[in-house]
Structure 1
Amino acid sequence: MTGDSRDARVPLPSRTSDARLVVVVRAPAADAYDRVLDVLVDAGIRSVELTLTTPGTLAALPRLRERYDEAADIGVGTVTRQDELSAAIDAGARYVVTPITSAPLVEAAVAARLPIVPGGLTPTELFASWSAGAAAVKVFPAGRVGPGYVADLRGPFPGIEVVPSGGVDLDGAAAWLRAGAAAVSVGGPLLGDAFRGGDLAALRERTARFVALCRREPA
């Protein structure tokens, strides 16, 4: 696309940007969300990515937004098709995340004024999404490259906003943020066994550590 798409870039919601932490939530089914989301949001999580690999996510999204909207941004991830993007928009997603590089998905999200974070790994993939108007680009799987990749990308692509995803634990989150990542995307290392009947007090403690580490300090 032309430079017009960059001028029309839709940034991430301010709560997500300030939190610098997106929790990727994969549940066995959508009716399992509330028990875990209650703990996450109460412990300070301000951005949650619900994945389409969880059955019933889009049907549950309006109810979940009504429940959590005052405290957290609820986005939709694992979007790979135009019909999924349209359904996420209709259901009220605050932002969408893809595991792939797809210019048509980015263009459609930008046209709908919805922030989108497309996935990719190579400089070509990431720059294609960024130049098409993405709010940020998701480096996935982040463990294959490491935090130094932020500086590597910003050499030829100054200003690119990077969100690492895939195996990012507490130490990794600290390293990526020090390197200049806009936010970190965290799943298993924070959620642990929460969806398998795990200790919710332990989940709250893990969440508090991630929130404290990632929260942007006031200027």
Structure 2
Amino acid sequence: MTDGPSSNLTSGALLVGVKDTRLVGIVRGTDGAAAARAALAAMEEGFRFVEIALTTPGALEAIREVRAAAPAGCFVGAGTVLSVQDVDDVAEAGGQFVVTPSLAESIQESARRGIPVLAGALTPSEALEAMNRGATAVKLFPASIGGPGYLKALRDPFPGIPFIAVGGVGLAEAAGYWEAGAIAVGLGGPLFGDAGSGGDLAPMRGRARAFVDLADSFARRSTATGVR
């Protein structure tokens, strides 16, 4: 396996894209084929960045499938990436970015290979350490512990760290995190439900459209009021 990046997606491009869309999809289920279908369906409804958790059976094959079939401008990553071996496996499968739930060794390994990484952190020390290890952005997880108020408090001493709020974020909560300064929200169960385990895709598509519409509306309102 070579040490070069597994895709054309750079850290800068990921950061710009995530800031633009404000949304990252998170598929976690019991069936890799179903997870691939769910990821592609979300992309068809307007999600540009979707991760498939490695805890999903058949996740690597699902990543390969989505990479091959993704609409133009859409990117598939791997979630719950913890070890150097995980990074190797994801790179081999064609994963275009990596997501961790914690300060795992996969952060610096992904950065070394040129694979963009969204690194899981909760505390101020963890957030700073994630960036020092080469993270593209910090995945604030689980965000629901402190809510938007906690995120705002974190951003006060770290205005330069891009945060993505993940964990317990649904349609009713997303705007609160954006207002607190999150560049995006990561959406698992509130978006996909049981779609990653073979559930009906139709309700998930409806939820995806609702999140995309909400993000678009927030962006228009922010532009009109001069807010980031």
TM-score class normalised by the smaller sequence:
0.7 to 0.9
Q: Counterpart of 1:200?
A: 201
Deviations 1:90-113 (A, max 9, x none): 2211110011113x4322212111
Determine whether 1:128 maps to 2:125: no
| Partner in structure 2 of residue 142 of structure 1 | 143
| Structure 1 CA distance for aligned equivalents of residues 31 and 65 of structure 2 | 15
Query: Structure 2 unaligned runs (5+)?
Result: 1-9, 224-228
Where structure 1 has 5 or more consecutive residues not aligned to the other structure, the ranges are 1-8
Question: Could you tell me which amino acid in structure 1 is paired with residue 144 of structure 2?
Answer: G
Distance 1:200 1:71 in 2: 22
Aligned amino acid, residue 151 of structure 1: K
Change (3 A) 1:179 1:112: same
TM-score under structure 1 length normalisation = 0.87
1:93-112 to 2 correspondences below 5 Å: 93-102=95-104, 104-112=105-113
Q: CA deviation at 1:197?
A: 5.4
CA contact (8 A) 2:110 2:117 kept: yes
Q: Which residue of 2 aligns with 1:25?
A: 27
CA contact (8 A) 2:46 2:208 kept: yes
Structure 2 equivalent of residue 5 of structure 1: none
Describe the SS at the equivalent of 1:152: helix
Which stretch of the first structure deviates more once superposed, 77-86 or 193-202?
193-202
Give the match's secondary structure for 1:106.
Answer: helix
- DSSP 3-state at the match of 2:66: helix
Provide the C-alpha distance between the structure 1 equivalents of 2:36 and 2:109, rounded to a whole number of angstroms.
30
Q: Distance in 1 between matches of 2:17 and 2:48?
A: 6
TM-score, with length taken from structure 2: 0.84
Write the deviation string for residues 188-214 of structure 1: whole angstroms up to 9, x where unpaired: 111123346544332222111101122
Letter in 1 for 2:63: L
The Cα RMSD (Å) is: 2.1
- In the aligned structure 1, how far is the partner of 2:198 from the partner of 2:110? 36
Q: Which residue of 1 aligns with 2:116?
A: 115
SS at match of 2:186: strand
Residue 36 (structure 1) aligned to one of 32, 35, 38:
38
Deviation of the 1:21 alpha carbon:
0.6
Equivalents in 1 of 2:62, 2:188: separation in Å? 20
The CA deviation string for residues 22-55 of structure 1, in whole angstroms up to 9 with x for no partner, is 1110121212124323421221111111000011
Are 1:74 and 2:59 counterparts?
Answer: no
- Structure 1 stretches of 4+ with a deviation exceeding 6 A read none
1:209 aligned residue: 210
Q: 1:134 to 1:196 in 2, by over 3 A?
A: closer
Tell me the distance in 1 between the aligned counterparts of 2:189 and 2:158. Answer: 30
Q: How many residues align?
A: 210
User: Deviation digits for residues 122-177 of structure 1, max 9, x if unmatched?
Assistant: 11111110122211111111110111223212222221111111110012111101
Q: Secondary structure at the match of 2:127?
A: helix
Verify the 8 A CA contact 1:41 1:71 in the aligned structure 2: no
Give 3-state SS (helix, strand or coil) of 2:147's partner. Answer: coil
Q: Is the 8 A contact 1:12 1:135 kept in 2?
A: no
